[in-house]
Each structure stands twice: as C-alpha cells, then as structure tokens.
C-alpha cells in the first residue's frame, strides 16, 4: 500500500509538471503572437508617418533653398504680420462700409448714425494704428535681429573667408560683437584658431628643423659627391697611370725583346769574332814566328850592313884619295 501511494503521488507530480510546462509554453506562444501583432501595427503606422515627415522635410528644404536662403530673408518673413494687419484693416473698412450702408438703409436717426460712424471710424483708426505699429515693430525687430544676429554672423563669415582665402592669415581673431551664444561661438572659433596657430607654429618649428637637417644632409651628400668625384678622378688617374705603366711595360718588353735579339746577334757576332780572334791569334803567332825569323835576318843584315859601312868608308877614303891624286895630277898637268 505504501508503495502504491508513493507511486500515485509521483504520477500526480509528473502530471502537474506537464500541465505547468504546457501552460508556460502556451503563454510564451501567446506572448510571441502578441509581440508580432504589435510590431506589425507599429510598422504599418510608422511607415506612413516617416514618409510624411520626409515629404514635409523635403518641402521645407525646397522652400528654404528658394526663398529663405539668408537670415535677412528669414527675418523679413515677419513682415507677413504687417500684411495680415493690413488685410484686417481692409476687411474692417469693407465691414464699416457695409454697416454704414445698412444703417442708412434702416433710416436710423442722424445722431445715432453719427455715433455709429464715429465708433466705426475709431475702430478703423485703431486697426490702422495697430497695423502701423506692427509695421514699425516688425521693422525694428528685423533691424534689431539683423544687427544682433546677421551682423556678427557676417563679420565671422568675412573673417573666416579672409582666413580661408589667400595665404590663410590665422593671426586674426573673430570679432566678439554680442554677449550671447554667438559670442560663445566666436570665442570657441578663436580658441580653435589659437590651437591651429599653436599647431602651425609647432609645424613651422619642425619644418625649420627638417630644413636644417635637409641642408646638413644636402651638404653631406654634396661632400660625399665631391669625395666620390675625387675618388673617381683619382681612379681615372690611377687607371691612366696603370695604362701608361702597362704601355711602358709593353715598350720595355718590346725593347727587352729587341735587346734580347740584339744580344743574341751580338753573342753570335762575339762568337764569330772569338773564332776570328782565335784565327787571328794563330795568324799572329805565325807572324810572330815569322817576325822572329825576320828579326834574325835583320840582325844578320845589320851585321852585314856594318861591314858594308866599313867597306863603304874604306871606299870613300880611297875615293877621296883618288880625287886628291886626280887633283894633283890635274894641277901637275896644268
């Protein structure tokens, strides 16, 4: 029994859990359907509104671009109030004329007619004065707002145009003419210009540094170029000297070859001369032997010539004696 009761309890709990889960799932499904319906309705209602807003915005931009493209024209639209006042004055005059005609047609007493006419005239004059006052006030408001808004805006525009045109002089600040939001705008623009001046000043400093470094680099490059030119010139000179040395070496080689050939010729000639000298030496030895023999002959002849000289002396003595004898004989003959 206890087990049966516990089993029944578990089954009931499972059934209750299933019901709760199905109820929660059904609730989620209903919420999703409601949210989808709401989104669809909002889309269908917002799309025409957004299209209408875009159409009105485009119409407004077109009218503004064509007719009210300056602040003066926008301020001049206040003269529509004067036009409305003039229209009211014209309507009042027409109503006054109609009322006067009706009063004259009803045979009203002249006194009452005069009173009504004076009241109508007073009303017409009041409307006329209101129209004139509106005209004066609108003119003053247009002038005042133009002086208060347009003049500072035009001054700021001219100053910004001067900054933007030409060389872009950022040293001038925007004029502070009013004491309202336009002054705050001009002050903010002046702060912006001051920041721009600081940036430009820093850029100028960097530019000067870059120019100095560029000049130094250019000087170094020029020096390097000159050094390279000198090195190239030296290299050309060395090459020329090398070519000249090579030419000289070739000339020396040619001369050496010539000297070698000449030496070879001289060597052959020396060898020939040596052979001739050997031959001459042999001849000289022969001549020396011949001279020795000739010397012997000469010495023999010398001895013989001395004997011949003695014989000649003897002959001369004999001749002289003979001459004396002949002279004596001649003398004796004479």
Q: What is the DSSP string of 81-143?
A: HHHHHHHHHHHHHHHHHHHHHHHHHTT--HHHHHHHHHHHHHHHHHHHHHHHHHHHHHHHHHH
- pLDDT category, 31, cuts 50, 70, 90? low
- pLDDT category, 1, cuts 50, 70, 90? very low
pTM exceeds cut of 0.85:
no
pLDDT, tens digit (0-9, with 9 covering 90-100), for 209-254? 888 888 888 888 878 778 778 777 777 777 777 777 777 777 767 7
Average pLDDT on 182-205 reads 79
Position 101 pLDDT exceeds 60: yes
pLDDT, tens digit (0-9, with 9 covering 90-100), for 128-173? 888 888 888 888 888 887 777 777 777 777 777 777 776 666 667 7
- pLDDT category, 201, cuts 50, 70, 90? confident
What is the rounded CA–CA span in Å between residue 123 and residue 121?
A: 5
Six-digit token string for 170: 């950022």
pLDDT, tens digit (0-9, with 9 covering 90-100), for 36-66? 665 655 555 544 566 777 888 788 777 777 7
Q: What percent of the chain has pLDDT over 90?
A: 0
Position 191 pLDDT exceeds 70: yes
Q: What percent of the chain has pLDDT over 70?
A: 71
- pLDDT category, 11, cuts 50, 70, 90? low
What is the rounded CA–CA span in Å between residue 144 and residue 119?
A: 36
What's residue 47's pLDDT?
45
What's residue 196's pLDDT?
76
What is the rounded CA–CA span in Å between residue 126 and residue 89?
A: 9
- pLDDT category, 30, cuts 50, 70, 90? low
Query: Residues 283, 289, 294, 296: what is their CA dihedral angle, to the nearest 10 degrees?
Result: 170
What is the rounded CA–CA span in Å between residue 124 and residue 100?
A: 13
What's residue 2's pLDDT?
47
Position 273 pLDDT exceeds 50: yes
Average pLDDT on 77-101 reads 77
Average pLDDT on 262-276 reads 74
CB atoms within 10 A of CB 190: 16
pLDDT, tens digit (0-9, with 9 covering 90-100), for 107-128? 666 676 677 667 777 777 787 8
Six-digit token string for 53: 């807003």
Domain ranges for the chain, please list them: 1-69, 71-169
């Amino acid at each position: 029994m206890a087990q049966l009761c516990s089993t029944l309890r578990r089954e009931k709990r499972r059934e209750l859990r299933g019901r709760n889960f199905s109820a929660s799932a059904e609730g989620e499904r209903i919420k999703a359907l409601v949210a989808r319906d709401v989104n669809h309705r909002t889309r269908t209602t917002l799309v025409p509104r957004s299209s209408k807003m875009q159409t009105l915005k485009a119409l407004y931009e077109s009218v503004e671009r064509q007719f009210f493209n300056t602040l003066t024209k926008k301020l001049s639209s206040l003269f529509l109030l004067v036009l409305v006042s003039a229209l009211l004055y014209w309507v009042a005059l027409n109503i006054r004329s109609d009322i006067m005609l009706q009063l004259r047609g009803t045979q009203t007493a002249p006194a009452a007619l005069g009173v009504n006419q004076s009241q109508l005239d007073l009303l017409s004059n009041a409307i006329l004065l209101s129209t004139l006052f509106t005209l004066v006030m609108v003119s003053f408001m247009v002038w005042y707002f133009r002086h208060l808004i347009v003049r500072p805006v035009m001054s700021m525009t001219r100053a910004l145009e001067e900054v933007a045109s030409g060389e872009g002089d950022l040293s001038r600040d925007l004029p502070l003419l009013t004491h309202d939001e336009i002054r705050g705008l001009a002050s903010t623009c002046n702060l912006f210009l001051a920041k721009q001046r600081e940036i430009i000043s820093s850029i100028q400093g960097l530019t000067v540094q870059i120019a100095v470094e560029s000049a130094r680099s250019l000087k170094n490059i020029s020096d390097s170029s000159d050094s390279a030119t000198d090195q190239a010139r030296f290299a050309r000179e060395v090459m020329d000297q090398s070519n000249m040395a090579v030419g000289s070496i070739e000339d020396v080689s040619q001369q050496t070859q010539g000297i070698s050939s000449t030496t070879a010729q001289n060597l052959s000639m020396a060898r020939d001369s040596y052979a001739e000298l050997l031959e001459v030496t042999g001849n000289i030895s022969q001549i020396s032997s011949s001279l020795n023999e000739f010397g012997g002959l000469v010495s023999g002849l010398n001895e013989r010539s001395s004997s011949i000289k003695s014989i000649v002396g003897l002959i001369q003595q004999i001749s002289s004696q003979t001459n004396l004898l002949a002279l004596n004989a001649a003398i004796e003959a004479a």
